[in-house]
């Protein structure tokens, strides 16, 4: 029986666990929360490996480039591609919210306000990228700071050349070890996904969406359109690769993203499917994907944009074209600054809604209204985020000649 279990492709086991978890949560109700500890174990395991995986593989990936100039080329292309998809995401979200007006006629009576944190100033975010103490950044899992130091460390080793070979060998071996640990942790995924989904469904998260169908429908449509328009364009029309093979290859990462609601938590799986299923070579997978898990929040951009317009409509605030432009800029910046953890985007809403005069107290009411059913929406926007990470990394890998098309076009995913 154990042998047959491991013979089943991992993503199929995860999918089965997700469906079974939804069924058990529906039948068991809130009692399903009694198995939350299983999901907590899984989350702790994947979060345990994120920091060492990112640092070690990123340093190794930079050294593997062999040319310092290539690092600059890759970095520029990556940031431009991520910003481009985010701009499209914001545009889609704002357009749909303006068209369908999900907030019209909405009442917030009886809603308990929920405190929201103040958004961090852009200059503070930029300064935080440079760690005062790299070791502290590792301890605190400050991903942007870790990425910055890893890139600097790898570039230094790259420039030193032969004298840095012992360090290069250590990091290359460390990468192999971390990827093996990732495979071991992912064997726990079906059980963790089962428990997480059972808990979410059991506490009524999905059923509560009925109360806000206009908002939910607008957001879901935005996510679908973004994936269909933007990522289909990238994979099928720009790269001229088989679209079905792309989505088949990333299913495992999407399922883990859906169940954990965390881009950074999904990162070990994302990196694994990128290299093994999509043919993205290590220098790109190790550098583009960690950056994407930190700054590429397309699902968040759609959600925050829709929610901001929804808020203005519900409160009777008129928005003109100039407001929409400011809102687009604010939403793009806010989405880039969003922590890659569940429901983080809600607490950046104040920095966006202030564009058209909604104060912190009013924003707290909106967040209080949305928060009870935010988890299922967060699950969906994390899927969009991770899909974007893998789409852009495929694009950059092809541009940089770090792409194995034979692996990408393989007929099946192990």
pLDDT of residue 117 exceeding 70: no
**What SS3 class is residue 240?**
coil
Contacts of residue 164, defined as CB under 8 A and 6 or more positions apart, other chains included, come to 63, 156, 157, 158
DSSP assignment of 270-296 equals: HHHHHHHTS-B-HHHHHHHHHHHHHH-
Work out the number of other CB atoms within 10 angstroms of the CB of residue 323: 17
116 — pLDDT class (breaks 50, 70, 90): low
> What per-residue confidence (pLDDT) applies to 89?
94
Lowest mean pLDDT among 168-182, 190-204, 354-368: 354-368
Q: In whole numbers, what is the pLDDT of the chain averaged over residues?
A: 85
pLDDT digits over 308-341, tens only?
A: 899 888 888 888 888 888 888 888 876 765 655 5
Q: Going along 154-213, which residue ranges are E strands?
A: none
Question: How many whole angstroms separate alpha carbon 219 and alpha carbon 212?
Answer: 11
What mean pLDDT is predicted for residues 274-290? 90
> What per-residue confidence (pLDDT) applies to 387?
96
> What per-residue confidence (pLDDT) applies to 398?
94
Are 10 and 189 within 8 A, CB to CB? yes
Torsion angles phi and psi, residue 50, rounded to 5: -60, -55
> What per-residue confidence (pLDDT) applies to 317?
87
> What per-residue confidence (pLDDT) applies to 326?
84
Tokens of 410: 């393989």
pLDDT digits over 62-87, tens only?
A: 887 777 777 778 888 998 999 999 99
> What per-residue confidence (pLDDT) applies to 391?
97
What mean pLDDT is predicted for residues 297-306? 91
Question: How many whole angstroms separate alpha carbon 169 and alpha carbon 99?
Answer: 56
Contacts of residue 155, defined as CB under 8 A and 6 or more positions apart, other chains included, come to 62, 68, 71
> What per-residue confidence (pLDDT) applies to 411?
60
**What SS3 class is residue 120?**
coil
Question: How many whole angstroms separate alpha carbon 106 and alpha carbon 213?
Answer: 11
Write down the residue that tokens 């605190």 correspond to: 140
Work out the number of other CB atoms within 10 angstroms of the CB of residue 169: 12
Q: Which of 166, 150, 179 is nearest to 61 (CA)?
A: 150
- Per-residue exposure over 234-266, b if at least 16 CB sit within 10 Å of its own CB, e if not: bbeeebebeeebbbbbbbbbbbbbbbbbbbbbb
DSSP assignment of 290-349 equals: HHHHHH--HHHHHHHHHHHHHHHHHTT----HHHHHHHHHHHHHHHHT--SSTTGGGGGH
Question: How many whole angstroms separate alpha carbon 69 and alpha carbon 73?
Answer: 7
Q: Which of 292, 290, 289, 311 is nearest to 300 (CA)?
A: 292
What mean pLDDT is predicted for residues 110-127? 60
> What per-residue confidence (pLDDT) applies to 331?
81
211 — pLDDT class (breaks 50, 70, 90): low
**What SS3 class is residue 403?**
strand
Q: Which of 294, 318, 324 is nearest to 306 (CA)?
A: 324
Question: How many whole angstroms separate alpha carbon 309 and alpha carbon 102?
Answer: 8
> What per-residue confidence (pLDDT) applies to 362?
80
What mean pLDDT is predicted for residues 254-279? 90
Domains of the chain: 2-408 (1.10.3860.10)
Question: How many whole angstroms separate alpha carbon 51 and alpha carbon 31?
Answer: 34
> What per-residue confidence (pLDDT) applies to 273?
93
């Amino acid at each position: 029986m154990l042998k047959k279990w491991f013979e089943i492709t991992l993503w199929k086991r995860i999918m089965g666990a997700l469906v079974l978890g939804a069924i058990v949560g529906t039948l068991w109700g809130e009692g399903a929360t009694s198995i939350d500890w299983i999901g907590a174990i899984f989350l702790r395991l994947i979060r345990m490996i994120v920091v060492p995986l990112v640092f070690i593989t990123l340093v190794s990936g930079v050294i593997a480039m062999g040319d310092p100039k290539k690092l600059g080329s890759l970095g520029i292309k990556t940031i431009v591609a991520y910003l481009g998809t985010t701009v499209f995401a914001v545009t889609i979200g704002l357009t749909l919210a303006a068209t369908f007006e999900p907030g019209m006629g909405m009442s917030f009576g009886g809603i308990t306000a929920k405190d929201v944190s103040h958004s961090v100033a852009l200059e503070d975010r930029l300064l935080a990228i440079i760690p005062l103490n790299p070791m502290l950044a590792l301890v605190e899992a400050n991903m942007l700071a870790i990425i910055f130091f890893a890139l600097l460390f790898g570039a230094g080793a790259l420039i030193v050349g032969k004298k840095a070979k012992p360090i290069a060998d250590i990091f290359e071996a460390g990468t192999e070890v971390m990827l093996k640990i990732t495979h071991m942790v992912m064997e726990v995924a079906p059980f963790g996904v089962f428990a997480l989904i059972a808990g979410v469904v059991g506490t009524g998260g999905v059923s509560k969406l009925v109360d806000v169908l206009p908002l939910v429908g607008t957001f879901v449509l935005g996510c679908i359109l973004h994936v269909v328009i933007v990522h289909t364009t990238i994979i099928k029309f720009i790269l001229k690769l088989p679209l079905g093979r792309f989505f088949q290859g990333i299913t495992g990462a999407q399922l883990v993203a859906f169940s954990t609601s965390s881009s950074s938590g999904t990162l070990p799986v994302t990196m694994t499917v990128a290299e093994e299923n999509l043919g993205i070579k290590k220098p790109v997978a190790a550098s583009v994907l960690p950056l994407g898990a930190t700054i590429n929040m397309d699902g968040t951009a759609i959600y925050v944009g829709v929610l901001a317009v929804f808020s203005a409509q519900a409160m009777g605030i008129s928005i003109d074209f100039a407001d929409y432009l400011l809102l687009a800029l604010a939403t793009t910046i806010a989405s880039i600054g969003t922590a890659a953890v569940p429901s983080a985007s809600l607490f950046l809403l104040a920095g966006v809604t202030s564009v058209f005069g909604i104060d912190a107290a009013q924003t707290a009411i909106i967040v209080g209204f949305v928060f009870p059913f935010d988890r299922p929406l967060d699950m969906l926007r994390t899927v969009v985020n991770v899909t974007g990470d893998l789409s852009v990394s495929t694009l950059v890998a092809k541009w940089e000649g770090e792409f194995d098309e034979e692996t990408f076009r393989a007929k099946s995913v192990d």
